[in-house]
Structure 1
Amino acid sequence: MIDNTQSCQDFSIRFIDNIAMDKRTSSTPSADEIAGIFDSSEGEPPGYRHVVVNFKHGGPKLLSVLSPHCDPMIYPLLFPYGESGWDPSLIHNGPRKQKERNKLTMRQYACHRLAVREDFSHVHQAKKLFQQYLVDTYVRIESSRLDYVRQNQSKLRVEHYKGLQDFVVNKSRLSNSTTGKVVILPSTFQGSPRNLAQRYQDAMAMVRKEGKPDIFLTFTCNPNWPEIKNELKNGEKPCDRPDIVSRVFRCKLDELKNDILKKHVLGVVTAHVYVIEFQKRGLPHCHLLLILDKNHKFRDSASIDSCVSAELPDHEKSPILYNRVLSHMVHGPCCERNPSSPCMKLGKCSKNYPKSFSETTIQNQNGYPVYRRRNNGVTACKSAYQVDNRDIVPFNGYLLLKYDAHINVEICSSIRSVKYLFKYIYKGYDAACVEFVEKNNDVNKIDYDETIAFTNMRYVSSHECIWRIHSNELHEQSHTIIRLAVHGPGHQNVYFKEGKEERALKCSESKKTTLTAWFELNEKDTYAHNYLYYEIPEKYIFDNNKWVKRKNKCKKVIGRMYGVSPNDTDRFYLRMLLLHVKGAKSFSDLLQFNGTTYKTFKEVVIARGLLQDDTEWFHCLHEMENYHMPKQLREIGQNQIALAGAWTGIASLLMKGGTTLHRLFGLPVPVLPSSVSSIKLNSEKADILRKASLILIDEASMIPAAALECIDRLLRDIMKNESKHLEHVPFGGKVILFSGDFRQVLPVVPK
């Protein structure tokens, strides 16, 4: 609350280009639109917020954004009669009434409000205020979802089955103790780093089975489509009605998918992946990757020319196609003709236009092909500049004629780095690099300081908001990916609420994972012996904790085992065995080879010839035992434990017995404010941290605050089993020595 005698300071938010940020997601906005920006490491909207209402009598009071009075109070022009907004008590009625989950969600209510009807709508005619309402509504919807996660998942924990079993057995001895690690943000949150990482791995599983992608297609919405223009009224522009643009683009996208996937206008497609993006340009667009059947792949220049063109068509023979190429498929112009073009970076075009002339199409061994761009003297005028074949973006004539929109078609079958393509389409949510500048009211100017801190924030446009409110998919793939568990005996994860350990343990005894159910399947069905673990989902379906044979053949299912770090030694070698061994009926079967039963999975892997032996390490230990002095040997086995770690790997190597903080404390990559350590409270690593007398942390000046907070939460969680009051002591009462030179982190000001 600000005192009346104080003057409020005016601030402006300025979008800037930061060369350190990813240009694919952090480019400056190029469209005139209303958008929301908020500081977020994983893309989630801000937490619970309130609206301050100043009453004539009684002063300011807080109004929850979940209140039905929120909409008419904030948007009196949109709701001039004070119509109530969404209320948590609203339920479905009529034909939509359900026995369970009958409550009307905030998203469903928003769809009801935004539906187009015959009578006049204040909301739809509000132009930029309508865009603001869309952004505010979407942010409230996502915030309420995540608020539920924040309130409930603080009580949800996960632990290995054996660890939970040991905890329940010893619970009477360990008073006031807890087990497991906290689960915070689910990977199902669309656009989060974990969600995109899972989708990227799913896409790579498709490549493993179906091969590399052949076509990279980008389809951009055209605001001048007649389906959009005919719905605009009273001088409206397409940017004033994101709801109409969204619906029309969705219909066009469905038709494009029908042409490509069912009518095979580009060839028979065996697999596809697409994502919807907005990128601060005011319009939605789609990135579509296609994997063609082996009989329809591009094997020579003629097959490429039959699908893709990068030349101006003949104006006399194809006047409509000629005009559409000029409207949608001309890059720039840029370089000397237009140095101020948005694509210009450091005096050059970032897309390498204009291209060179080429009489024929040349297939590149590691990149896009060099398309045919003949120097035939054909030119055209675009934005008062002369353009020729060197400025044409590759396109398909049939698709361009039918859809009258920018449809860039690239042949990518020769690109060796398949990961680049999938990382490009799964690059994450739109972001913006902004600076907050204080205005000087005395001289009516902005005080600019080059050392001002830049903040990377999420950018949500009104087009993205209406797309999400309508529950349109942001991602789609042709295949269903079944993710398969990889865990040791008794090490499957068990999810439970704190205080419900016994109940969770009892339920987990009868619950099968995909791996333990596979063992059970091999005991009962000899047909399953013909397939590896990751091939089972193609022939069986995991239903009700068991694998059941598929009644219908399904070619669109792929099994994918979760990746395992080599640092997790036992699971790493177990996963290696599952990639090569068929028909195993138990973990004991995996430990057997040629009549010999081995003690560890690593020994079996070595016996099968799947991995080189680590004999050299044993020789090193024997040499230490035989030749090192007693003092050196005693240092290896001191009774007190001192741990050393550093933020970077190079610095950790300079410390005796040092390691990285990620390995020492189980930090994820990247470390985010909501990150949780992977160390279980009943594990050996947790026991070492619990017994450590000193923890030395180097490069303290380089450690992000999120990493220190994650370490603090871990140590408090570990040490509260020793004494309950340590839960409220920083770092669980551990003695930690921070070292580092803060003079090395001075701000760098670019000239």
Structure 2
Amino acid sequence: MRSEEYVHLKDALSKNNEQLSTMGKMVVLPSSFTGGPRYMHERTQDAMTYVRHYGRPDLFITFTCNPKWPEITQLLSEGQQSHDRHDIVARVFNVKVKHMMKLLTVGSIFGKTKCHMYTIEWQKRGLPHVHILLWLEEKMRPESIDQIICAELPDPDINPDLYQIIKTTMVHGPCGSFNLKSPCVVNGKCTKNYPKEFLKETQTGDDGYPKYRRRSPADGGKTFKLNGVEIDNRWIVPYNLVLSHTFGAHVNVESCNSVKSIKYICNYLNKGSDQASFSVQDLDEVTNYQAGRYISSSEAVWRIFRFPIHDRFPSVMHLAVHLENVMAFFELCQVDDFAKTLLYVEVPAYYVWKNNRFDRRKKGKVVSGYLGVKKDQVLGRVYTVHPGNTECYHLRLLLHEIRGPTSFSALKTVDGVIHTTFQAACRALGLLEDDANWYRTLDEACISDSPYKIHELFAIMLVFCHVDDPPKLWEKYRNYFSEDIKREVERDGGNVELLLDVIYNKCLILLEDIVISMSGKTLLQFGLHSPIRDERFIVTNRQYLRELAYDTVYLTKVVTENVPKLNLEQKKVYDEILNSIISDSGQLYFLDAPGGTGKTFLINLLLAKIRSEKNIAIAVASSSSESDIAHVLRETKIIIWDECTMAHKKGIEALNRLLQDIRGCERIMGGVIVLLAGDFRQTLPVVPRGTRADEIKACIKSSIL
């Protein structure tokens, strides 16, 4: 690794010579190491370079090795299985991948391609698979999706061979209620959202993928039996007829039409290797990469054979900031008139880097008007710079805006004025006005980075980058910041739309923790709302989330419409209980009413009123003091126990002791408002032996328990 390129580390060392003996040692795993985290990050950035130049990819293809291919089985010795010969599997799959890429690019089965890239991965059981991104010269239109992608069983009478291939390789599951042990099942539901819904026509989806045509049996869709389950088109993974028929394997073909799909694809490139963590200690990058790493035999063989793990076209040239590449660009602009028309990132398309200088390309398309200038398909990408490195960050920004600079001073010159810093030059050019550069930075980060990384980036902006209007940035990108928290809420059974305040508050807590660790300041000092740090905003309690996940708008409407319908006696009870809640009097009430007198109507209205104000109101509960429901009981405003006269008096006494214990209060029912409801006239025949009904009634009415 070229450690001399760590310019700012050198600067720091030169300024602190007296402290060199106390500085730690940093061990780095370079980006040239195939499969390392820096290597993966570079591949992700290269993918985004294609997106910036060519837009979104048109197709996302996942191709998985089939261990039953005759090319594999014919080479096995007697008694051997494919998992006994990973060398054969690797060699055959490598040939198949080359064949597929040739069909996609040279064969142009989907049309001419602008660019492509792929990455090889391995399943835990050892089978390799490849993820392919494909950009087409003629962008896919919604009406042409059905010509390329199919999500239905083929007709066995018309194409029996393809029918057998799809039956054996392109059926998801069945999972869910049919197989709760399936790897894709979490909390009883398929994470891939199978089975899909029946559709007569393909529709554009909201999640980055279309909703493909899946006709029901009534509309002509085919079915077959698999392990006793009837499989129809809802279980079919999208595929392409030509690729599936050619390769006889799992070949998932998806149409990409959203930034979300780009982020999903880039996660594959950037998720890193499988690992198991054994201890927590300070590790260098090399040791960290090796620690507990899972390498399948198939991957080991692939690496021994030196087969490519990634491939791409066109090539991407990486341009450094503040190093010899920039200096060479300045020198080129001083002597070459055509170079003066270019941005730094555009240079690789016309010039080749050779002997520490840029020379004109000898191959490519001739550029009219400039003798001897040719353009190739090479793309340029300037290395990313951490926003905390303020001057270098703004230097990179200027290199993307100013054409043909001849020196660093030229970059800092705006309208004849040489500014003292690159940041000042950016401000003079209007690049920092209204936080435009931070919006661009977050736009890019939200495409390819995880929520945690985006939290870190935003925290750095707040602490070090003098953001003009942090609340506006928060309002625009808070949904990206909180993606992981929303998934957590959905997994715990909460309603995301009704819990947005809780979700955003949790996100602010995480963000503020990072900001405090960097600067010792709170979000309030940067103009943002300070998060509420108490139990009601902790997104980990399913019971608590469920009690907060009511539609307050609907409940408010119910209350408004039904309060006028209360009769005088009902209104008296309604007002009495609400006033008791407001004053926190901790009373115990008993509503004695026969059936048909509106008792249930009144109870439902009380529940609606309390829940509409985002307070907790529960019916009946019994739990340990440390459980999730205990948290709910501590926060509840009222407990309503309908038909309590059907219960044994010991149950009411137990509830009293439970609430006193959970709420840490010796008042009756632990100080919570309790409404017991029932009809003693219906329960006299079932009073337990030895207990007089009038005694129970008198006991309850006088609040003696």
- For Structure 1 versus Structure 2, the TM-score category normalised by the shorter chain is 0.5 to 0.7
Q: Higher relative contact order by CA 8 Å / sep ≥ 6: 1 or 2?
A: 1
Cα separation, 1, equivalents of 2:197 and 2:266: 28
The correspondence for 2:193, drawn from 349, 352, 360, is: 352
Cα separation, 1, equivalents of 2:37 and 2:9: 30
Secondary structure at the counterpart of residue 457 of structure 1: coil
Amino acid paired to 2:334? E
The correspondence for 1:612, drawn from 430, 433, 436, is: 433
Please say if residues 529 and 583 of structure 1, whose CA atoms lie closer than 8 Å, have aligned partners that are also in contact: yes
The correspondence for 2:392, drawn from 565, 571, 574, is: 571
Cα separation, 2, equivalents of 1:324 and 1:357: 22
Query: 2:181 maps to which residue?
Result: 340
Query: 2:303 maps to which residue?
Result: 468
Pair 573,326 (structure 1): closer, same or farther in 2 beyond 3 Å: same
Query: 1:298 maps to which residue?
Result: 140
Per-residue CA shift, 1:491-522, capped at 9, x if unaligned?
x4xxxxxxxxxxxxxxxxxxxx1100000001
Please say if residues 152 and 221 of structure 2, whose CA atoms lie closer than 8 Å, have aligned partners that are also in contact: no
Query: 1:253 maps to which residue?
Result: 97
Shift of 1:590: 1.2
Cα separation, 1, equivalents of 2:404 and 2:518: 46
Pair 157,604 (structure 1): closer, same or farther in 2 beyond 3 Å: closer
What TM-score do the two structures reach when normalised by structure 1?
A: 0.53
Please say if residues 312 and 389 of structure 1, whose CA atoms lie closer than 8 Å, have aligned partners that are also in contact: yes
User: Where does 1:14-163 land on structure 2 (aligned, <5 Å)?
Assistant: 160=7
Pair 424,177 (structure 1): closer, same or farther in 2 beyond 3 Å: closer
Query: 1:543 maps to which residue?
Result: 354
Please say if residues 385 and 393 of structure 2, whose CA atoms lie closer than 8 Å, have aligned partners that are also in contact: yes
Per-residue CA shift, 1:231-272, capped at 9, x if unaligned?
111211111110011101111111111111110112221111
Amino acid paired to 1:257? M
The correspondence for 2:317, drawn from 478, 482, 493, is: 482
User: Where does 1:507-586 land on structure 2 (aligned, <5 Å)?
Assistant: 513-553=324-364, 555-586=376-407
Shift of 1:482: 1.3
Please say if residues 204 and 210 of structure 2, whose CA atoms lie closer than 8 Å, have aligned partners that are also in contact: yes
Please say if residues 318 and 381 of structure 2, whose CA atoms lie closer than 8 Å, have aligned partners that are also in contact: yes
Per-residue CA shift, 1:150-189, capped at 9, x if unaligned?
xxx9xx6665399579959x99xx8997999755321222
Pair 471,534 (structure 1): closer, same or farther in 2 beyond 3 Å: same
- Report percent identity of matched pairs: 42
Cα separation, 2, equivalents of 1:657 and 1:426: 29
Pair 532,353 (structure 1): closer, same or farther in 2 beyond 3 Å: same
Amino acid paired to 1:310? A
User: Where does 1:711-722 land on structure 2 (aligned, <5 Å)?
Assistant: none
Cα separation, 2, equivalents of 1:355 and 1:528: 54
Please say if residues 159 and 179 of structure 1, whose CA atoms lie closer than 8 Å, have aligned partners that are also in contact: no
Per-residue CA shift, 1:604-650, capped at 9, x if unaligned?
22222222289xx9xx9xxxxxxxxxxxxxxxxxxxxxxxxxx9863
Cα separation, 2, equivalents of 1:651 and 1:399: 50
The correspondence for 2:43, drawn from 199, 210, 216, is: 199
Cα separation, 2, equivalents of 1:567 and 1:223: 50
Please say if residues 366 and 415 of structure 1, whose CA atoms lie closer than 8 Å, have aligned partners that are also in contact: no
RMSD after superposition:
3.5
Structure with more helix by fraction: 2
Pair 601,158 (structure 1): closer, same or farther in 2 beyond 3 Å: closer
Query: 1:601 maps to which residue?
Result: 422
Please say if residues 381 and 387 of structure 1, whose CA atoms lie closer than 8 Å, have aligned partners that are also in contact: yes
Amino acid paired to 1:317? I
Cα separation, 2, equivalents of 1:161 and 1:333: 56
Pair 372,195 (structure 1): closer, same or farther in 2 beyond 3 Å: same
Please say if residues 157 and 180 of structure 1, whose CA atoms lie closer than 8 Å, have aligned partners that are also in contact: no
Q: Indicate the larger mover: 201-210 or 373-382.
A: 373-382
Query: 2:678 maps to which residue?
Result: none
Shift of 1:653: 6.0
Shift of 1:415: 4.6
Pair 613,602 (structure 1): closer, same or farther in 2 beyond 3 Å: farther
Amino acid paired to 2:512? I
Amino acid paired to 1:650? E
Per-residue CA shift, 1:84-111, capped at 9, x if unaligned?
xxxxxxxxxxxxxxxxxxxxxxxxxxxx
Shift of 1:314: 0.8
Amino acid paired to 2:339? A
Shift of 1:289: 1.0
Please say if residues 29 and 38 of structure 2, whose CA atoms lie closer than 8 Å, have aligned partners that are also in contact: no
Shift of 1:417: 5.0
Pair 407,654 (structure 1): closer, same or farther in 2 beyond 3 Å: closer
Cα separation, 1, equivalents of 2:98 and 2:403: 41
Pair 607,407 (structure 1): closer, same or farther in 2 beyond 3 Å: same
Shift of 1:279: 2.1
Query: 1:99 maps to which residue?
Result: none
Please say if residues 29 and 36 of structure 2, whose CA atoms lie closer than 8 Å, have aligned partners that are also in contact: no
Pair 266,562 (structure 1): closer, same or farther in 2 beyond 3 Å: same
Number of residue pairs matched by the alignment: 432
The correspondence for 1:457, drawn from 292, 298, 307, is: 292
Amino acid paired to 2:298? H
Query: 1:394 maps to which residue?
Result: 238
Query: 1:313 maps to which residue?
Result: 154
Please say if residues 533 and 582 of structure 1, whose CA atoms lie closer than 8 Å, have aligned partners that are also in contact: yes
Cα separation, 1, equivalents of 2:134 and 2:248: 21
Query: 1:265 maps to which residue?
Result: 109
Query: 1:282 maps to which residue?
Result: 126
Please say if residues 170 and 237 of structure 2, whose CA atoms lie closer than 8 Å, have aligned partners that are also in contact: yes
Per-residue CA shift, 1:43-100, capped at 9, x if unaligned?
xxxxxxxxxxxxxxxxxxxxxxxxxxxxxxxxxxxxxxxxxxxxxxxxxxxxxxxxxx
Please say if residues 167 and 179 of structure 1, whose CA atoms lie closer than 8 Å, have aligned partners that are also in contact: no
Query: 1:187 maps to which residue?
Result: 31
Q: Higher Cα Rg: structure 1 or 2? A: 2
Shift of 1:577: 1.1
Cα separation, 2, equivalents of 1:250 and 1:655: 48
Please say if residues 298 and 304 of structure 1, whose CA atoms lie closer than 8 Å, have aligned partners that are also in contact: yes
Shift of 1:382: 2.1
Query: 1:100 maps to which residue?
Result: none
Secondary structure at the counterpart of residue 213 of structure 2: coil
Shift of 1:210: 1.2
Please say if residues 329 and 393 of structure 1, whose CA atoms lie closer than 8 Å, have aligned partners that are also in contact: yes
Q: Does 2:250 align with 1:409?
A: no
What TM-score do the two structures reach when normalised by structure 2?
A: 0.56
Amino acid paired to 1:610? L
Structure with more strand by fraction: 1
Query: 1:698 maps to which residue?
Result: none
Cα separation, 1, equivalents of 2:19 and 2:194: 70
Query: 1:380 maps to which residue?
Result: 224
Secondary structure at the counterpart of residue 292 of structure 2: strand
Please say if residues 350 and 376 of structure 2, whose CA atoms lie closer than 8 Å, have aligned partners that are also in contact: no
Pair 524,183 (structure 1): closer, same or farther in 2 beyond 3 Å: farther
Pair 531,176 (structure 1): closer, same or farther in 2 beyond 3 Å: closer
